[in-house]
Amino acid sequence: MTTDRIHRRTGLRAMAAVSLLAGTLAVGIPSAQAETVPDGRATLEGTAPEWTGSAADAGATAGSTQVSARVYLAGRDAQGLTAYATAVSDPASPSYGKYLTPQQAEERFGASPQQIAAVTAWLRSSGLSVTGDGRHYLAVTGDAAAVQKAFATPLHDYRKDGHTFHAPAHAASAPRELADAVLTVTGLDNAPHRAEPKDTLPGPGAGFRNAGPFSTYYGSNTANTLPDAYGTKIPYAVHGYTGTQLRAAYGAGKYTGKGVTVAITDAYASPTMAADAAAYAKRNGDQPYRKGQYTEVLPASYNSVEDCDASGWYGEESLDVEAVHALAPDANIVYVAGASCNDPDLLDALNKIVDSRLADIVSNSWGDIEANQTSDTAAAYDRTFKLGAIEGIGFYFSSGDDGDEVASTGKKQVDIPASSAWVTAVGGTSLAVGKGDRYQFETGWGTQKATLSADGKSWTDFPGTYTGGAGGGTSATVKQPFYQRGVVPDSLAKANGPTRMRTIPDIAAVADPNTGFLVGQTQSWPDGTVSYDEYRIGGTSLAAPVIAGVQALAQQARHLPIGFANPGIYARYDSPLYHDVTDRPLGANRELAVARVDFANTVDATDGLRTSVRSLGKDSSLHAVRGYDDVTGVGTPAPGYVASYGSLFR
**Cβ neighbourhood burial of 154 (10 Å; 0-12, 13-18, 19+):** middle
172 band by pLDDT with thresholds 50, 70 and 90: very high
Nearest CA among 358, 400, 344, 258 for reference residue 72: 344
Kindly report, residue by residue over 265-287, the tens digit of the pLDDT: 999 999 999 999 999 999 999 99
Ranges of H-type helices in 90-228: 102-109, 113-125, 144-151
pLDDT tens column, 76-89: 999 999 999 999 99
Residues 483 and 370 in one domain: yes
CB-side neighbour CA atoms (13 Å) of 558: 23
| Helical spans, DSSP H, in 449-507 | 490-493
Helices (H), 171-272: 243-249
Q: Are 235 and 264 in contact (CB under 8 A)?
A: no
Residues 569, 451: one domain? yes
148 and 258 in a common domain: no
Helix, strand, or coil here: 12?
strand
Residues 536 and 403 in one domain: yes
CATH number of the domain bearing residue 407: 3.40.50.200
Final residue belonging to a domain, choices 158, 186, 214: 186
**CA angle at 396 for the pair 391 and 402, rounded to the nearest 5°:** 155
Task: Give the span between the Cα atoms of 393 and 355, in whole angstroms.
Answer: 11
For residue 470, name the pLDDT band (cuts at 50, 70, 90).
Answer: very high
* 361 and 444 both lie in a single domain: yes
> Are 428 and 539 within 8 A, CB to CB?
yes
**Sorting pLDDT into bands at 50, 70 and 90, what band is 199?**
low
The domain boundary residue, chosen from 186, 206, 229: 186
Q: CA nearest 144: which of 122, 128, 159?
A: 128
> 51-60, 327-336, 550-559, 606-615 — which is least confidently predicted?
51-60
Q: Does 417 sit behind a cis peptide bond, omega within 30 degrees of 0 on the bond before it?
A: yes
Q: What pLDDT score was predicted for residue 34? A: 40
Please give the mean pLDDT across all residues of the chain: 92
Q: In whole angstroms, what separates CA 36 from the centre of its chain?
A: 36
pLDDT on residue 648: 56
Residue 371 lies in a domain: yes
Q: Please give the Cα distance from 310 to 332 (Å, whole number).
A: 25
Lowest-pLDDT range of 155-164, 427-436, 555-564: 155-164
Question: Residues 6 or more apart from 282 whose CB is under 8 A from it?
Answer: 288
**In the chain, what percentage of residues exceed pLDDT 90?**
85
State residue 23's pLDDT score.
28
Kindly state whether residues 494 and 386 are assigned to the same domain: yes
Cα within 13 Å of Cα(492), Cβ side:
27
Which of these ranges, 178-192, 449-463, 467-481, 620-634, has the smallest mean pLDDT?
178-192
Q: Is residue 225 part of a domain?
A: no
8 A C-beta contact, residue 615 and residue 448: yes
* Domain-located, residue 229: no
Min mean pLDDT across 49-53, 175-179, 342-346 is at: 49-53
pLDDT of residue 109 exceeding 90: yes
Which range scores top for mean pLDDT: 3-12, 48-57, 80-89, 156-165? 80-89
362 in a structural domain = yes
CA 19/CA 556 separation, integer angstroms: 35
Query: In 3D, which of 560, 565, 534 has the Cα closest to residue 547?
Result: 565
Strand partners, 50: none
- Entry pTM: 0.94
For the chain, give the longest Cα–Cα distance.
Answer: 77
Is 512 within a domain? yes
Pick 7 or 647 by higher pLDDT.
647
For residues 131 and 266, state if they share a domain: no
Task: Label residue 33 by pLDDT band (50, 70, 90).
Answer: very low
Contact 623, 444 (CB under 8 A): yes
Which pLDDT belongs to residue 132? 83
* Segments forming the whole domain that contains residue 115: 8-28+35-186
Q: Is residue 624 located within the same domain as residue 522?
A: yes
Alpha-carbon torsion (385, 390, 394, 399), positive or negative: positive
SS (H, E, C) 408-440: HHCCCCCEECCCCCCCEEEEEEEEEECHHHCEE
Is the pLDDT at 418 greater than 90, yes or no?
yes
The domain total for the chain is 2
* The pLDDT value given to residue 13: 60
- Any domain includes 595: yes
Helices (H) and strands (E) in the chain, counts: 14, 31
Q: Which of the listed residues 186, 208, 231 is the one where a domain comes to its end?
A: 186
| Same domain assignment for residues 259 and 182 | no
- Residue 25 neighbours by CB distance under 10 Å: 17
Residue 161 or residue 200, greater confidence = 161
Residue 606: which residues within 8 A CB-CB, separation 6 or more? none
Is residue 155 located within the same domain as residue 270?
Answer: no
Q: Decide if 203 is inside a domain.
A: no
Residues 112, 12 within the same domain: yes
Instruction: Look at residue 270 and tell me if it is in a domain.
Output: yes
Q: What pLDDT digit, counting tens, does each position of 342-390 carry?
A: 999 999 999 999 999 999 999 999 999 998 888 889 999 999 999 999 9
Whether 38 shows a pLDDT value over 90: the answer reads: no
39 and 150 belong to one structural domain: yes
Q: Residue 649: its pLDDT value, please? A: 53
Q: Which of 34-48, 155-169, 293-307, 606-620 has the lowest mean pLDDT?
A: 34-48
